Structure 1
């Protein structure tokens, strides 16, 4: 029987070799070569991460911060390469979500079966 960790590393390699990952990698390289786009994207990510951190810590997000985030989102949506990066990232993220569901299936079935036995 194969070691679970070996299988996980094989999955990592499969993800790296996937068309979705390769596309994202190419688009991200294009973005890194565009100084204006890179700054815009970095600022957008910084604002996003700051808001997520506040949310996770239970801090209130001000109206000003919300407006700043909305402005940043509008700016990045207008940049062609950034839009493509974000679309590509979303496709890869969906793939990873699907893979995670598959990986979690044994645990899910175990608990569902256990719950059904105790009813």
Structure 2
């Protein structure tokens, strides 16, 4: 039997999907996906990010070549307004989710603080 917390979580998910921040992210993502050049650049950048994260998670060293590729990809991304709009929208949603997480963790923090 699902707990009330699961119901609240589903309500929160719905609220996030209906938020201005998510709508802005969705629109920015559609703008990138509908632009062939921006899409290819974004996909390449994202794949490079994922590969670097995988290396770090596996404890492998990030090589100088990896860093050069990442810097070149970042420069290319920064020159594309559609991708920069997407990155900005993603950051605003991330900030909102971070605030939500702080609220969700408050009971645990209060417990440890003796409140």
Q: TM-score, normalised by structure 2?
A: 0.94
Q: Which runs of 5+ in 2 are unaligned?
A: none
What is the rounded CA distance, in whole Å, between the counterparts of 1:18 and 1:47 in structure 2? 30
Where 1:15 maps in the other structure, the secondary structure is helix
Check if 1:72 corresponds to 2:58. no
What is the rounded CA distance, in whole Å, between the counterparts of 1:64 and 1:112 in structure 2? 47
Q: Which residue of 2 aligns with 1:91?
A: 92
What is the rounded CA distance, in whole Å, between the counterparts of 2:53 and 2:108 in structure 1? 29
Structure 1 segment 28-107 matched on structure 2, within 5 A: 28-107=29-108
What are the Cα deviations for residues 51-110 of structure 1, in whole angstroms up to 9, with x where unaligned? 111111111000000010010001001001000000010000010011001101111111
Check if 1:20 corresponds to 2:21. yes
What is the rounded CA distance, in whole Å, between the counterparts of 1:26 and 1:87 in structure 2? 12
Aligned-residue RMSD, C-alpha:
1.2
What is the rounded CA distance, in whole Å, between the counterparts of 2:53 and 2:114 in structure 1? 36
Q: Which runs of 5+ in 1 are unaligned?
A: 115-119
What is the rounded CA distance, in whole Å, between the counterparts of 2:110 and 2:59 in structure 1? 33
| Deviation beyond 3 Å, 4+ runs, structure 1 | none
